[in-house]
Amino acid sequence: MSAVTSPSSLASGQPFARGAVLALLVVGAGLFIGLLWFLGHVGPPANNGGGHGAGRGLNGYAALAAMAEADGFTVARTRTQAAMEQPGVLVLTPLPDTDGKTIASIVDKRRHIGPTVVIAPKWQAGPLEKKLDKPRGWTRLTGFALPNWPGFADDVRVTLNQGKGYRAHGWRTADGRHGPLPDDEKVVSGTGQALVPLVTTGDGQVLAAYRDDNGRYPALDALADVETPTVLAAGDDDDGEALADGPDMERQPLVLVFEPDLFDNYGLANRQTAVLALDVLRAASANAGSQQVTFDLSLAGLGGRPNLLTLAFEPPFLAATVGLILALLAVGWRAFCRFGPPRVGLAAIPPGKTTLVVNSAGLIRRAGRLHLVSGPYADALRERLATRLGLRRGAPAEQTDALIDAHLARVNPDSMPFSHAIAQLAAARRPHDAVRAAAALHALEKDLA
């Protein structure tokens, strides 16, 4: 049987109110989720002077991303390859030594998802000297680093055109547009089969092109001023014969940009070049049916770790996560909606003389000092018997013991003399002997009661 408290006393006795406990749980859960997000998303700073969509140096493509966003595109930057499977245009800016098979795998997966623009590297860049008070990410060009990607577009050759007296005379398009290159004496071009030129130099070198791979790309064809393949409704030619190999209507284009100055911050300082870069993005996105442009940062050395929070909600961890959430909800609901007030717990040390004696005895026994209480116990017992028998208090112990022995002999002649029991207790040194002598004295006290 235990006592219970009233609701008012229960509320006043709790250290925290229910609302405070709920707030602590919500804040703690939010901080834990924030920690998971932090572990999954935080990585190296994006504006590190690299040649990628977040780079603000000469070799970066932050200006292209800003222009695309201002032009109505939805711009995203990703550090993981999982995000590359989204529709829309994907812009890849791999490092010179990136594994070509990795690039090929990404491009192959996207051939029926969305267009891909691969921009080849050209410049080696380093940060500006600290003594120059310039914004973070600004770079200076120190040399060249052309792509070396075995396993990707092995039939295409990239060449750095330079030499004494060489000049590219800017860039040209098939519709007659033209513009300058930031460094007209050092230009990267590409050659290979199945390339449809989009931009060339003044002397005919290919600066950007798309693959002629049996796809149907009307917007790119118009920019390149080539004829778009005609698709017949019945799948027959004009003579009624079945076409053996028609264009793949679901295929998405692959655009190869050999000269990065057509798209990087260095080249987009020119208005005509900036307009050209946007036109290429628009033509590539026409096949996607989406106004999204995703700039990949992972192939530029900024790959991020998997988000732990996302992994928790993906197979095979989804089942365990759902089970844990349901268990937490059940425990929380049971804790806040229990039946009746809580039972009042018992005190750690219950009040009362008996408890005090038991606790004191336990302390003496654990301390190993039982023999030290033998004398005081004998003196207290002697005083109690002397008072009970009406003997003179304060008399010597030997005299009092003799009188108690005489009275005990009359009451119970077969019992042990009181003086003998007192002597046994005084001589006891082991706890067992002391307890046995004390029990004998307690029995004599009962006989004299």
CA angle 8, 12, 14 (to 5 degrees): 120
- Same-domain pairing of 209 and 330: no
pLDDT of residue 244: 46
- Same-domain pairing of 109 and 156: yes
pLDDT of residue 8: 43
DSSP secondary structure letters along 273-308: HHHHHHHHHHHHHTTTT--EEEEE-GGGTTPPPPPH
Q: Which residues of the chain fall below pLDDT 70?
A: 1-16, 39-46, 82-83, 129-137, 230-247, 303-309, 338-351, 449
Q: What totals of helices (H) and strands (E) does the chain contain, helices first?
A: 13, 13
- Same-domain pairing of 297 and 374: no
pLDDT of residue 46: 67
- Same-domain pairing of 341 and 427: no
Residue-wise pLDDT tens digits, 234-277 = 444 444 443 445 667 788 999 999 999 999 999 999 999 999 99
When divided into structural domains, the chain yields a total of: 3
From residue 366, how far is each of 141, 357, 363, 425 by CA, in Å? 82, 14, 5, 20
Distance CA 280, CA 431 (A): 100
- Same-domain pairing of 191 and 206: yes
Which domain-ending residue is among 239, 272, 304? 304
Residues spanned by the domain of 406? 353-447
Going 199 to 201 to 206 to 212, the CA torsion angle's sign is positive
- Same-domain pairing of 260 and 283: yes
Contact 297, 46 (CB under 8 A): yes
- Same-domain pairing of 184 and 58: yes
- Same-domain pairing of 299 and 416: no
Residue 234 domain-assigned (yes or no): no
- Same-domain pairing of 117 and 254: yes
pLDDT of residue 132: 58
The contacts of residue 319 (CB under 8 Å, 6+ apart) are none
Tell me the one-letter amino acid at 357: V
- Same-domain pairing of 72 and 207: yes
Residue 97 domain-assigned (yes or no): yes
- Same-domain pairing of 273 and 374: no
- Same-domain pairing of 315 and 436: no
Nearest C-alpha neighbor of 51 from the set 91, 90, 4: 91
Q: Tokens representing 29?
A: 């859960």
